[in-house]
């Protein structure tokens, strides 16, 4: 049972480049989330999804896009990367509402130079 799988683990982007952070879960969880964590800080919600075809903005959505075409996958797209997007990105999932708590992926460390 892999849980929540994130790829890549590390990436360096140049300013203006684009990329997609991949997230997949094999637990049949309906709810999925993307958070970013800046050094020494807590987690800030970027986007979340309560099921396939349904997505909603979180606290810091600017510069990002998401899609949810299947229950398993929830990719995060960065368009026109900026240094302010340098962060660690965590994907998480929950079986139902967030009352169950989350299972986190191992994270993607992104540096924009």
Partner 1 sequence: QKEVEQNSGPLSVPEGAIASLNCTYSDRVSQSFFWYRQYSGKSPELIMSIYSNGDKEDGRFTAQLNKASQYVSLLIRDSQPSDSATYLCAVNGAAGNKLTFGGGTRVLVKP
* Residue ranges that bind partner 1, judged by CB under 8 A: 31, 33, 35, 40-45, 48, 50, 58, 90, 97-99, 101-107
Structure tokens of 93? 């999932």
Task: Report the C-alpha gap between 77 and 13 in whole angstroms.
Answer: 13
Question: Measured from the CB atom, is 18 or 106 closer to partner 1?
Answer: 106
For residue 71, the minimal CB distance to partner 1 (Å) is 16
Tell me how far, at minimum, the Cβ of 18 lies from partner 1, in Å.
Answer: 25
Between 57 and 80, whose beta carbon lies closer to partner 1? 57
- The DSSP result for 39-50, as a single string, is TT--EEEEEEEE
CB atoms within 10 A of CB 98: 12
């Amino acid at each position: 049972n892999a849980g929540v799988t994130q790829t890549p683990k590390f990436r360096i982007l140049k300013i203006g480049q684009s990329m997609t952070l991949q997230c997949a879960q094999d637990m049949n969880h309906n709810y999925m989330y993307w958070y970013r964590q800046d050094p020494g800080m807590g987690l800030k919600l970027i986007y979340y999804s309560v099921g396939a075809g349904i997505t909603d903005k979180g606290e810091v959505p600017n510069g990002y896009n998401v899609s949810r075409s299947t229950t398993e996958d929830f990719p995060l797209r960065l368009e026109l990367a900026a240094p302010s997007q340098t962060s660690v990105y965590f994907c998480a999932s929950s079986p139902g509402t967030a009352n169950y708590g989350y299972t986190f992926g191992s994270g993607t460390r992104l540096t924009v130079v």
